[in-house]
Structure 1
């Protein structure tokens, strides 16, 4: 539920703070007092609409899915919309987009002024219908769970089989392409690190002649080695350090000559051709490692193509068994639902009669399998499709569906927001709407704007929206103040004794 709402600087409102109870919360007041502005700002506080209020904030008892939105729950979660130069949205002081805030709030709040068809979707209708069946002791709950599990596996197998069948249509081309790619890499037959080794050989070959000439010239130093040793001896200096250095130099020159002489047998053209072949693979695949990994992947694909008939046969057998299981379970669900459908339609029409609406027709047809079975439900109002009925009829039909659903609810259903649901209704029609809302208020917190005494008298909490000069203000009414306000609704600004008497009788009847 929404426990508290705060509004600052929005149109005719300077500031307003309201503390709500659960149940049916009614807003009344003269035309132009700001009732719709207040309702709009409550919606804006949770991202349901946009407004230019400086602050609109709702404190709620809703539990946030922390994993989904990344916001931690507090004892009371605070949804806030701030507007300075631009709008900003927060939950528990953590900034997020309006869309994200609305997604969180939509799990708990519905605004019934819009033609939202979600209450007439198969998921919702079957939840109501199946709850009625289960209440009669039938094991439809376990049947639904078993069907959902079997259908999920059936659907997955069907998709896998389709993929294989699609692959099978082009398997010849796929096999040829895989074999071609494998052969292309195999023809080069690269090894990891080979390209670096060949580039080093190419580098050595390119400088071989120049380096050997330099070594030959430098070898002249050894002709004077004995002279250096003699000079050191005359100086009484040990020549071991010089001898070691000269031996190390000989080893370097000898090693270089040996390495370069070993290149005598290397075919330069073959090296260059090999480097070019390896370069082609690297240009195509990125590196030798990636080329070899791609070859392995294609070999696995080729193996898969060669085994596809075996895999397809196994899937076809599994699909056939699951098809039978899904069919049997779906038919059991259909049987249960068909037996309950007449009673479901009868009770819906009982609500519709109380709401002064024409009778509805509920038809169940077979369709493609979904996780809810093989059935679809279609509702029409006096043979008129839902898309073509008036907004007033649509919303009262939604109330009837919600009332049916609430009969089997064991927890709070969230918040319903209605604008002038009883606008342009007669007294009897308004009372019928009020009675349905009163029943729904056992499971929902309901915010409603009303201009009728019947619905207003049913409220668990009553707020008056009025103007003090040009400023809109709010006031929670006690019993006597409610009598006066309902009397004003009945007789206008000049309140008669008869209107007050009738207002008091309406309120006392609801005690």
Structure 2
């Protein structure tokens, strides 16, 4: 709960410090006294945006500080997650500097506005006309049902299954789309693969074929050269081999006379053997070399095929064509493999759908149990608030598709008159009726969960008399479990407060200021009397004020 609020240099506020009661706090003041300014200051520690226009004195910083008793709130995990010091007396502080910089602190630790707002919204709920509009929002209504039904755990379990189901569904859709797209390319890939596969390409064959073609095209020249070499080596008239034989014999004839001659003879014999080998090889190569037009045509055709495939696929080698063929083969395999993966995903989806339906059914059943409880509790308060003929029905529909919130569509139908059929709240409820509805609903919520401090900003607009008394009674009952700060213009409601604060304006050195103070018992009687009968106090109005305080 909010135990203390301190504000300095904000709008018309110079300095103020106010300590609130743990129960019902009534806040009153003349129109224009600055009640909205107090709310604006409070909004700063909730993370609302601000600029230099909020500075009362442009050369001093604005500071708004709220002290909260948080021992009854499950907030320790929040402090741990955000690396903040936990204290049962937690302080939220916001500063706006003359340079326009905004700084936020939680227990003197600097934080960003998002963190400040996240904690602030768990500590203060400012009820305004804008929130009345939320009452007609179906998501708000569904959240209300979940709170009263206590179905948050089942909802979380459903949402986990839903996320898995949607994720799996997305995977399946993407895979089916990819399969369909690539299946359209399958015929093309298959044709290209078949063409390359039928070519039966071998690594290195292009170079071998080109070499062979050169030999075939120059076969006559090759054979002629070999023939000339053979004649030089072994011609009848001029034979290198015969001359070497003769030379070898002549050296042998003198080898006994000169010691170096045997070595020379041996070297000459080696040359003779090498030349004989060369002669044999040239004869063999010559025999193997033939001018073969048929073979030339075959080699040319093969090289033309390879070249045409290279041009078609914009590559420069047989090895690249083989890699391309393998890539087509892989793509074909992937497309045909999609079918198995699609079947597997569909089976998983079927299992998840069964679980999703089960969780949705469980969630729906738990929610429906809360409908009578909501209707009964809200109508009870509405009857007390001067709407005895009002009706509230929680209408349910099963949505055609699964949503993050289940398959339940919830709509609150309302009628303030006996002869008017219930319809959507936003279409039939007036501003005053909306305010009373919201009060009744928040009163229902307090029985279902611990609410933060609730600030009501003139929720009593449009009511008076006995209805105002009953609204005050409801607020009083509400405050037994939740701290309430209630800005009101009705004495019947203000009198119900455990503490009464008055917002007022004053002047100092020609400047106007706004402040707030807690009224003493006597001051409170005077303030209530003025609210009953105007500025002029009379015995009648004072007595009326005293009677209001007595209840």
TM superposition score normalised by structure 1: 0.66
Residue 397 of structure 2 corresponds to residue 397 of structure 1? no
The CA RMSD over aligned residues, in Å, is 4.3
Answering whether residue 413 of structure 2 is matched by residue 375 of structure 1, we say: no
Give the corresponding residue for 2:103.
89
Q: For residues 416-442 of structure 1, give each alpha carbon's deviation from its aligned partner in whole angstroms, at most 9, with x where no partner exists.
A: 222222234212232233233223323
Counterpart pick for 1:484 among 515, 522, 526: 526
| Residue of structure 1 in register with 2:294 after alignment | none
How far does the alpha carbon of each residue in 1:80-130 deviate from its partner, in whole angstroms, 9 at most, with x for none?
Answer: 132423151311355555555334423433322242355666665455545
Structure 1 contact 88–95 (Cα < 8 Å) conserved: no
- What is the CA-CA distance between 1:176 and the residue it aligns to? 9.1
The corresponding residue for 1:272 is none
Cα distance in structure 1, aligned partners of 2:346 and 2:40: 56
Distance in 2 between residues matched to 1:376 and 1:464, nearest whole Å: 44
Residue aligning to 1:460? 498
Are residues 310 and 408 of structure 1, via their aligned partners in 2, closer, same or farther at CA, if it must alter by over 3 Å? same
Instruction: Report SS of the residue matched to 1:444.
Output: coil
Secondary structure of residue in 1 paired with 2:483: strand
After TM superposition, list the pairs within 5 Å mapping 1:491-502 onto structure 2.
491-502=533-544
Q: Corresponding residue for 2:197?
A: none
Query: Equivalent residue for 1:449?
Result: 487
Match of 1:360 among 392, 403, 406: 392
CA contact (8 A) 2:149 2:369 kept: no
Following superposition, the deviation at residue 40 of structure 1 comes to: 1.8
- CA–CA distance in structure 1, aligned partners of residues 519 and 327 of structure 2: 76
Report the 3-state secondary structure (helix = DSSP H, G, I; strand = E; otherwise coil) of the residue aligned with 1:378. Answer: strand
Measured in 2, the distance between the counterparts of 1:68 and 1:433 equals 40
Q: Look up the SS of the partner of 2:130 in the other structure.
A: coil
Which residue of structure 2 aligns with residue 8 of structure 1? 8
1:77 aligns with 2:91: yes
Are residue 503 (structure 1) and residue 545 (structure 2) matched? yes
The answer to whether the 8 A contact 2:398-2:407 is kept is: yes
My pick for the range that moved more, 374-383 or 452-461, is 374-383
Higher CA-based Rg = 2
- Deviation track 1:130-169 (CA, whole Å, cap 9, x = no partner) reads 56556xxxxx777556544443433333232222222222
C-alpha contact 1:46 1:81 (8 A) present in aligned 2: no
Does residue 47 (structure 1) correspond to residue 47 (structure 2)? The answer is: yes
Return the offset for 1:20. 2.0
Alignment partner of 2:124 out of 94, 97, 109: 109
Checking the alignment, whether the CA contact within 8 Å between 2:135 and 2:425 is kept in structure 1 is no
Tell me which of 328, 331, 354 is aligned to 2:361.
Answer: 331
Aligned residues: 403
Instruction: Please report how far the alpha carbon of residue 2 of structure 1 lies from its aligned counterpart in structure 2 after TM superposition.
Output: 2.2
Deviation sequence 1:258-277 (CA, Å, 0-9, x none): xxxxxxxxxxxxxxxxxxxx
* Residues 1:344 and 2:363 are matched in the alignment: no
Aligned partners of 1:112 and 1:395 also within 8 Å: no
The Cα of 1:352 is off from its aligned counterpart by: 2.4
- Contact persistence 1:52–1:83 (CA under 8 A): no
Contact between 2:148 and 2:444, CA under 8 Å: does it hold in 1? Answer: no
User: Partner of 1:422 in structure 2?
Assistant: 460
Q: Would the alpha carbon gap of residues 178 and 35 (structure 1) be closer, same or farther in structure 2, given more than 3 Å must change?
A: farther
Partners of 1:125 and 1:345 in 2: CA distance: 12
* Mapping for residues 19-418 of structure 1, pairs under 5 Å: 19-48=19-48, 50=50, 52-53=54-55, 54-61=62-69, 63=75, 65-66=78-79, 71-74=84-87, 75-92=89-106, 93-95=108-110, 98=113, 101-116=116-131, 125-126=141-142, 128-129=144-145, 144=155, 146-172=157-183, 305-338=335-368, 340-357=370-387, 358-367=390-399, 368-382=401-415, 383-388=422-427, 389-409=429-449, 411=450, 413-418=451-456
**Structure 1, gaps ≥5 residues long:** 135-139, 183-279, 282-291
Q: Which moved more, 1:155-164 or 1:486-495?
A: 155-164
Query: What is the rounded CA distance, in whole Å, between the counterparts of 1:70 and 1:35 in structure 2?
Result: 35
Closer/same/farther in 2, CA of residues 11 and 371 from structure 1, 3 Å limit:
closer
The aligned residue for residue 255 of structure 1 is none
Write out per-residue CA displacement over residues 212-239 of structure 1, whole angstroms, 9 at most, x where no aligned residue: xxxxxxxxxxxxxxxxxxxxxxxxxxxx
